[in-house]
Chains A and B, each alone.
Chain A
Amino acid sequence: KAGVTQTPRYLIKTRGQQVTLSCSPISGHRSVSWYQQTPGQGLQFLFEYFSETQRNKGNFPGRFSGRQFSNSRSEMNVSTLELGDSALYLCASSPAGDRGNSPLHFGNGTRLTVT
């Protein structure tokens, strides 16, 4: 079974630009969650999508948005990039997501650098 695939692996953007990151979950998984990982704050929850609906949202500004398609693939968008947005963005899929104790299966992340 293929794992969670995130593209691209690396991205360099300039302040003020916007960026879109992509995540393909494990086949059959309907929940996709996004996390931001930085050395200072660790992993922080961005949002979770389940069957194309945003089910939960973390404490991030509205510049961070996402969506999920009917095939469960998900995209995350960050607009008006700031230097502080530089981070590893991790996507995780699970069968049930925030319901129950389903483990999260993480991709290897997209490393975003904002200059």
Chain B
Amino acid sequence: TQLLEQSPQFLSIQEGENLTVYCNSSSVFSSLQWYRQEPGEGPVLLVTVVTGGEVKKLKRLTFQFGDARKDSSLHITAAQPGDTGLYLCAGRGGGADGLTFGKGTHLIIQP
């Protein structure tokens, strides 16, 4: 059973479009992190959200933590080819040891 479900699994859009990636769970997490991974490299942290309802912005990326701390979303405005990568959400807590990762969203931004 996957504690964190990410959707969509794959997304290919044109440069300039907006998109939202979702991370859902039936478990409550004390915090949630978003990472981006590029081919041949390890994941790199984008943001950590810890408070229910929290919204954080990182340039064109907006991250939201659900009020009940069971879900999160990542919204990208005016996507660029450099945004291409595997986006992973990861929750701490939820009844599991270590950081629990979703399977990720493979995002491709076509020029």
Which residues of A are interface residues toward B (Cβ below 8 A)? 4, 33, 35, 41-45, 47-48, 56-58, 90, 92, 98, 101, 103-109
Tell me how many residue pairs across A and B have CB atoms closer than 8 Å. Answer: 61
Chain B interfacial positions (CB closer than 8 Å to A): 2, 30-31, 33, 35, 40-45, 48, 50, 88, 90, 92, 96-104
CB within 8 A of B45: which of A35, A41, A103?
A103
- 9 A-B contact pairs sorted by A residue (CB < 8 Å): A42-B88, A42-B101, A43-B43, A43-B88, A45-B97, A58-B98, A103-B45, A104-B33, A104-B45
CA distance A56 to B98 in the complex (A): 7
Q: Are A42 and B102 in contact (CB-based, < 8 A)?
A: yes
Give CA–CA (A41, B44) in the complex, Å. 19
Q: Which of B33, B96, B97 contacts A103 (CB 8 A)?
A: B33
